[in-house]
Amino acid sequence: MTGTQSTPPLLAPLTADEWGDDEYAAFGALLGLPGEKVPRAGSGHPADPLGFDIIGLLARHPKMARRFLTFNGWLLQRGELPLRLRELAVLRVALTRRSAFFWGEHSRVATEGGVPENDIARLAEGNDGFDGTDRVVLEATDELLSDGRAGEATWQRLTDELGTHQAMELIFVVGTYAMLAMAIDTWRLAPPAGSAHLPEEPTNSSGQKK
């Protein structure tokens, strides 16, 4: 599934009148704010919950969302893994899992974080356009997605390049976004209007689709 929806969603984001204390507290866990400080739904504030469909969807289960978003917010805002490496891994997850939503969302996050558009485009061509730490991270991401684990040699390469903390975070980033892609694409959440389009499936060094 590419995330380009021609059928209705199975689960829709909360509407403005469905936001309550528990839902604001869940969004606040991501923003680092108490629920009462979160902008109100429909306020037009840059952090208006209605501007974040994925949050409005996760907040349908506010207790779960609050705990998950606490962790996800930490990975995105306070983790040690550099933004470039994190976003290359997330975009590779989106490509491999064929998630149009996360390709669109994280193309924007990566670009705003300083990742050149040419690097994002090269992800669809496999790993040959990358070297150094970028290549190690992408190959490890591929292995995690295909095998469900990183082998001993891959783990050693990761820790040599990144150190233990960042190597550990990479595994959690890949696992978190593989899980999110599974959920969001099950519920058929469409990418925001104007999002970057999901490219064709990436190829390996032999030119074959993975």
Same structural domain, 24 and 53: yes
What CATH number should be reported for the domain holding residue 132?
Answer: 1.20.1290.10
Q: List the pLDDT tens digit at each of the 210 positions of the chain.
A: 344 446 889 999 999 999 999 999 999 999 999 999 999 999 999 999 999 999 999 999 999 999 999 999 999 999 999 999 999 999 999 999 999 999 999 999 999 999 999 999 999 999 999 999 999 999 999 999 999 999 999 999 999 999 999 999 999 999 999 999 999 999 999 998 889 999 987 555 444 455
pLDDT for the residue 55: 97
For the chain, report the end-to-end CA distance as a whole number of angstroms. Answer: 15
Q: Which residues of 178-206 are buried (b: 16+ CB within 10 A; e: fewer)?
A: bebbeebbebbbbbeeebbebbeebeeee
181 and 89: one domain? yes
Q: Is residue 67 part of a domain?
A: yes
User: Do residue 118 and residue 158 come from a single domain?
Assistant: yes
- Report yes or no: 134 and 120 within 8 Å, Cβ to Cβ: no
Among candidate residues 35, 51, 77, the one where a domain is terminated: 77
- Residue 192: the pLDDT is 85
**Degrees, nearest 5: CA angle 46-49-55:** 125
| Pair of tokens at residue 24 | 């604001």
Q: How far apart are CA 25 and CA 40, in angstroms?
A: 11
Question: Whole-model pTM?
Answer: 0.89
pLDDT at 139: 98
Within-domain flag for 7: no
Check whether residue 119 and residue 175 sit in a common domain.
yes
In a domain, 204, yes or no: no
Tell me, yes or no, whether 25 lies in a domain. yes
Same domain, 70 and 88: no
Residues in CB range of 135: below 8 A, 6 or more apart: 127
Asked if residues 177 and 75 have their Cβ atoms less than 8 Å apart, the reply is no
Predicted local distance difference test score (pLDDT) of residue 7: 82
Is there a single domain that holds both residue 23 and residue 114?
no
Tell whether 29 and 58 lie within a shared domain.
yes
Q: Count of domains in the chain?
A: 2
* 87 and 181 both lie in a single domain: yes
DSSP annotation of 151 reads -
- Domain extent at residue 168: 83-186
